[in-house]
Structure 1
Amino acid sequence: MTRTALAIATLAAGLVLASSPAHAWGPRGHRLVADIAEAGLQPQARAQVDALLEGETEPTLAGVANWADELRASDPDLGRRSASWHYVNIAEQGCDYDAGRDCRAGGCVVEAIRAQAAILADTTQPLEARRQALKFVVHFVGDVHQPMHAGYGHDRGGNDTQISQPDGTRDGRGTNLHSLWDSGLFRDMRESESAQLARLVGTAPVAAEAGDPASWAEGSCRVATTEGVYPPRPKIDGAYIATWRPVAERQIALGGARLAALLNDALSAGDAD
């Protein structure tokens, strides 16, 4: 068994003991991205991550993966200041990212990843600044791989596109396209988080390059604008979920591999303290 495979097996076993099955890309998807990334960390990066997260309630990448979404309650001021860092709207631009046009004053997920990764990599920064940057990076790399986070501005990344799910899914109640891709595609899965993790690791690139967050956003945008993602009728059926759930899972696996590569690059030298 390779070191990566062994790490995944250990993570999966821990999830069986520690996690009840959740049914959302929101918390679940972010944790999966983080767990896939953690398994791909090189020793030096892993040591720095461990040092940076020392003292956290759950000192793992998955343990802080949803921190940025929780800021609205835990730190409303930082939550407001970072609200626009979770997404970028480029679908109207043919999925072609231009910083001056699409991300004024750095207020989008692409520039947030770049800025926070730079803070994380800078060993002259205070420990707390680097710890916060790590939390932001883990979350935002997950966000940029959710297609609606790089979609259309006119409907706020699918938030204003109302749909209803099949009877038996949330009792057939209405939702919106963004929420569907955040959580609805996974809501009725019977598979545990640990089993899903073990399966998705096999689909993640073995040695992904970190690449550039702009290209990640453009790729997610191309998913969001693929024919059929916006359903022709307000009520979706099981065939929609069967078609697009694997696409969402590929995005999660890709996000985890790229997060690992970014962290390995950013933490390739120096000590956390």
Structure 2
Amino acid sequence: MIAFGIAVIAAVHAPQALAWHDDGHRIVGEIAERNLSPATRAKVRALLQGSDGKGDGSLATASIWADHEARESPEFAFAASSHYVNLDGPTSPRELHAQCLERAGCLATAVPYYADILRSEGASEDQRAEALRFLVHFVGDAHQPLHAGRRGDRGGNDIDRLTIPGYTAKGETTNLHAAWDGALVALALTERGVDWKAYAVALDAGIDADARARWVGGTIYDWLEESRRFAAAEAYLHVDGLTPVRSGDTLGADWYRRNSSTAEQRLSQAGVRLAALLEAIFEDA
């Protein structure tokens, strides 16, 4: 599947708040933009370009803002807990909402919050553009299984010292959370010999009409429960589906093959659902 010894991609030791790394988020944004109607796409681009027209207006570019400019600014320190939620089992919307309020917010509260700002007639254009940048990022976050991972290991962050041939550089290791954030996408790009945009185009082309129809709908609670189930059934396990991944393990080609289709599905679902959410928000704007 992959020439694991040929291309070595430097490992990224991601903190818990990062998801999909930049390329994964760009892929979600690109898929979403490809699923927007021309009218909504024009409104989104105009909002992201701003009054000075300097931005490129793309959802792909907007998708990484929350992990870079926002993360580097003390002004947005409040949003750190909004990138993830830890779930140890099925949780009702009421229970999850209460849990999020206890820790100054989480993904379950962030997505509807920024969606409300984006549709608000009282919000300024700058506030709506900021909300859109957060929203495109957080919808992507919600679909990374370990962003709804277990509390005890901080969504896989504490399962560390992992070696991934073809991803971790010689002498470097990573953790399970970061493996899902970055390795599965990076290895897919290496295998195919393409960049993130070509990969996004291919993923979008592979989504059939039935899948699109099934994926549209649901709420942030549904999406997070999906991620929690994927994490429990796949993300924490080796290829046999029984043995837990433990600190110090090596995740090889069989691990990639077992999990790459799930990663592709979650990226695709995030893009399709983001597009549907933006269509609903901008319908009357």
Q: Normalising TM by the smaller chain, what interval? A: 0.7 to 0.9
Q: Which residue of 2 aligns with 1:93?
A: 89
Q: Which residue of 2 aligns with 1:109?
A: 107
Q: Which residue of 2 aligns with 1:251?
A: 266
Q: Which residue of 2 aligns with 1:53?
A: 48
Per the alignment, do residues 175 and 268 of structure 1 end up closer, same or farther by CA in structure 2, a change over 3 Å counting?
same
CA RMSD of aligned residues (A): 2.4
Partner of 2:24, secondary structure, is helix
> Residue by residue, what CA displacement relative to the aligned partner does 1:77-122 show, whole Å, maximum 9, x if unpaired?
31x11000001111x1335552344211660011100010011011
1:30 to 25, 34, 53: 25
Q: Gaps (5+ residues) in structure 1?
A: 1-20
Q: Which residue of 2 aligns with 1:181?
A: 180
Q: Which residue of 1 aligns with 2:17?
A: none
Is the contact made by 2:165 and 2:251 (CA closer than 8 Å) also made in structure 1? no
Q: Which residue of 2 aligns with 1:206?
A: 212
Distance 2:10 2:275 in 1: 23
Q: 1:152-231 counterparts in 2 under 5 A?
A: 152-171=150-169, 173-188=172-187, 189-190=189-190, 191=192, 192=194, 193-204=196-207, 205-207=211-213, 208-227=215-234, 229-231=236-238
Distance 2:64 2:148 in 1: 19
Is the contact made by 1:163 and 1:236 (CA closer than 8 Å) also made in structure 2? no
Between Structure 1 and Structure 2, how many residues are aligned? 248
Q: 1:68-79 counterparts in 2 under 5 A?
A: 68-71=66-69, 74-78=72-76
Moved over 4 A (4+): 21-24
Q: Which residue of 2 aligns with 1:84?
A: 81
Q: Which residue of 2 aligns with 1:122?
A: 120
1:123 CA drift (Å): 2.4
Per the alignment, do residues 177 and 118 of structure 1 end up closer, same or farther by CA in structure 2, a change over 3 Å counting?
same
Partner of 1:53, secondary structure, is helix
One-letter amino acid of the structure 1 residue matched with residue 205 of structure 2: G
One-letter amino acid of the structure 2 residue matched with residue 104 of structure 1: L
One-letter amino acid of the structure 2 residue matched with residue 266 of structure 1: I
Is the contact made by 1:120 and 1:130 (CA closer than 8 Å) also made in structure 2? yes
Distance 1:95 1:137 in 2: 23
Is the contact made by 2:148 and 2:155 (CA closer than 8 Å) also made in structure 1? yes
2:149 to 148, 151, 168: 151
1:245 CA drift (Å): 1.4
